A and B are shown apart, each in its own frame.
Chain A
Amino acid sequence: MRKYKNTWLLLCSSLFWVVSYPIAGQCTPEATTIDELVEKYDSQKCGGCHEEIYQEWQNSWHAKAVNSSLGGIRNFIEVGLKKEWNTPLTKNEVLKCLDCHAPIVNFASEELARDIGRLIVTAKDFPTTPTGTEALKELAKLNVGCYACHNIKATGVAPGLRGRPQEGVMYGPTGEDGDDFHTSVETVDLKTSAFCMQCHGVYHAPDGETIQCNTLSGSYRHGYLAAGGSKTCQECHSAKGHMFPGGHDLDTVKQGLGFNVQIAKYKHLPGQITSVKDANKWVPSAIVTAFIENRAGHRIPDG
Chain B
Amino acid sequence: MVLEVTAKDAEGNELFKNEKKWFEIGIDPDKDMRYGAWQIKEIIDLTLPPLATQKEQYLIHFDTDTDEVRIDAKLYYYINGSKRELVHDVSKTLSFF
Contacts and interface: CB of A to CB of B under 8 A. Distances in A.
A259 B87 contact: yes
A267 interface: yes
A292 B75 contact: yes
B94 interface: yes
Contacts of A298: 50
Interface of B is mostly: strand
Main secondary structure of the interface of A (DSSP, over half): mixed
Kindly name the residue among B26, B55, B69, B88 whose own CB sees the greatest number of chain A CB atoms within 10 A: B88
Nearest to A297: B50
A276 B64 contact: yes
A76 B36 contact: yes
A268 B61 contact: yes
B60 A289 contact: no
Contact of B60 (A254, A288, A301): A288
Measured as residues with beta carbon below 8 angstroms from the partner, the interface class of chain A is 35 or more
Given A259-B88, A299-B49, A286 B57 contact: no
Interface in A255-303: 257-259, 261, 263, 265, 267-268, 273, 275-278, 281-302
A49 interface: no
Interface in A135-184: none
B92 A263 contact: yes
B89 to A, nearest CB: 8
B90 A261 contact: yes
Given A247-B79, A267-B96, A300 B47 contact: yes
B53 A291 contact: yes
Interface string A206-249: 00011111010001100110011100000000000000000111
